[in-house]
Structure 1
Amino acid sequence: MKLIIYIFVIISTTTFVKSQVGINTKNPTKILDINGDLNLRKELKTGGTDIAEGQVGTKDQLLQIKADTDASNNWKTYQIANGTGSLSLYYLNTTKDDVGILFTASGGTGAYTLDSNESDWMFLTKNKDNFVVTDNTNSSKVTLSLQTTVQINRANGTSNYSASFACGIFLKKGTEAYKLKAVRSDVVKGLRGSYKIFNLNVTLDKLEQGSYEVQAACRNRNLGTGNSLVNLGIGVPTDTGKLNQAMANTTMTTTVLHPY
């Protein structure tokens, strides 16, 4: 009788004892602690219980780790936006410039050359951003969206006036010089105080691995002459009776997509 009781006690005790198993380690820190590579030849299931198997997931799903507890981790289908292929969002940031640029004289009206330097351009000083391309396959894409407000003004006069301008995106890698990567020119017309919203959107691809700095810049073109000369504000009001600084601010959004 004593023998039967002792066996029953041993079995009952071992049923509730939790032990930690280590593979290639003498001091396991988890129930199963593997110090080395894991080669899984069949399915990986999560969310199982004592009476039900866990989920194995389906094709193209990713294992989502939401917390330390197993119950909240599961398989997740991530929707990639159409047109981006196998790219995923890596970096997203928006900068705001509340300083702007004021032009009071005409500038050059010629064409602009890709990869030219920043000579004769004025930077929107707070529309500067930094990002890193970690992928080494030149498959990453960077999308830049610039929006600003442009206003014209004259001290006197009630006629219609016009002024032309251009805004561009400059990019540099590491310690290299800035290079022009995108540019759009436009015209604002109307009575003094007239203004318009200006947008510039560009996607840069085939960027090499490394650290980058991007900045928005603008320049004056034809602001008129003599009695027709106007002041041109980009990201800054020239007639605060019709436009204030909060309305004129410039924003630039940087989006970096990497292969996943």
Structure 2
Amino acid sequence: MKNILSTLFLASGLMLSAQVGINTDTPKAKLDVNGDLNLRDKIAVLDATDNSLSQGNNDQLLVSQGEGYAPIWKTLRIPEYEPNKFYLIFNNSFSDKVGVDFTNNEQPPVTSTGKAAAFTKGADFSNLTAFKKINGLSQKIQVFSTESKAYFQFETVVQANFSSNGTPDTSIDYACGIFVDDKLISLRQNNLKASSAQFTFITHNQIGMVTNLSKGEHTVSVGCSRLTSYGDAPNRKLAIGTNTSTNLNSFIAQSSLKVDVYEVPQVFNTIIK
């Protein structure tokens, strides 16, 4: 009888008042419970698609849709990870058809000794004289763990508008670097030589790696420079990621950058489906 009376009093209160509080004199909703709530049976929410009540499925959670909308049932999926093991968390590929080009006047006045001093891991891009960035390859990446390995694969075409030259006396030294937050993490030097054919070109491939980047957003970029010219090369243009002559087009000469970030997961980013 006592339980019946309590239920009647509660029902009467709900009908007479717009807001009812349990263990509170100032309810902030139509039913405000200040304390523990124990549900022994089922809970259902309105399914707005067909105006029915939905109890959801096993292992589903109620997810808010914001003010004015009923919550909905969602399945929470968390991938299973083995501890202390690296997983591919981020990967993407970027391309650029604009590239960069250099005349002989854009060569830095750096000796071989000076190059060795300048081209060190962690060197800042602003300190590498005459380097130009390939703009389309400057992109944001995300790191979610303090234990990570980021791999970068850069590929492009390097061309000079050399005339036909059967000797190796005409050539250009160049360098390309991969940067993270404008810090050098990989650098490769190479030499493009004139040949018996006009408008010589080569494919440049480069791989870089950096470990344990700080958590958060980082910027990866690629920059290149013309270093030294030999023979008739001072009269010739060097192009990286673009063409100097019509035997190539922008599609063939374009640059690409592939980024893979492997991490030991520390933060589980839940996926709601």
TM interval, shorter chain, is: 0.5 to 0.7
User: Is structure 2 residue 248 aligned with structure 1 residue 238?
Assistant: no
TM-score, normalisation: structure 2? 0.60
Matches within 5 A, 1:141-160: 141-154=149-162, 158-160=165-167
2:86 corresponds to which residue? 87
What is residue 179 of structure 1 aligned with on the other side?
183
Equivalent positions of 1:121-132 (< 5 A) are 121-132=131-142
CA drift at 1:157: 5.8
CA distance in 1, matches of 2:208, 2:120: 16
Query: How do 1:206-217 and structure 2 match up within 5 A?
Result: 206-217=212-223
Q: Which residue number in structure 1 is paired with residue 65 of structure 2?
A: none
Candidates 185, 190, 193, aligned match of 2:194 = 190
Could you tell me which residue of structure 2 aligns to residue 24 of structure 1?
A: 38
- Note the alpha carbon deviations across 1:75-106, whole angstroms, 9 max, x for none: x999x9xxxx8211111111111111111113
Q: Aligned pair in 2 of structure 1 residues 224, 88: CA closer, same or farther (>3 Å)?
A: same
State the Cα distance separating 1:217 from its structure 2 match: 0.7
- Identity %, equivalent residues: 24
2:254 matched residue in structure 1: 249
TM-score, structure 1 as length reference: 0.63
Unaligned ranges ≥5, structure 1: 1-22, 36-66, 173-177
Structure 2 residue runs of 5 or longer lacking an equivalent are: 1-36, 44-54, 62-73, 266-273
Tell me whether 23-32 or 181-190 shows the greater mean CA deviation: 23-32
> Contact 2:164/2:194 (CA < 8 Å) preserved in 1?
no
Cross-structure match for 2:208:
202
Task: Output aligned runs, 1:157-172, within 5 Å.
Answer: 158-160=165-167, 161-172=170-181
Q: How many angstroms apart in 1 are the aligned matches of 2:95 and 2:59?
A: 49
Give the equivalent residue in structure 2 for 1:43. none
- Report the CA distance shift for 1:224/1:86 in structure 2 as closer, same or farther (over 3 A): same
Give the Cα–Cα distance (whole angstroms) in 1 for the partners of residues 86 and 184 of structure 2. 25
Structure 2 Cα separation of the partners of residues 190 and 114 of structure 1? 31
Task: Supply the distance in 1 between the matched residues of 2:164 and 2:202 (Cα, whole angstroms).
Answer: 20
Q: Which has the higher helix share?
A: 2
* Paired residues, number: 186
Q: Distance in 1 between matches of 2:166 and 2:177?
A: 30
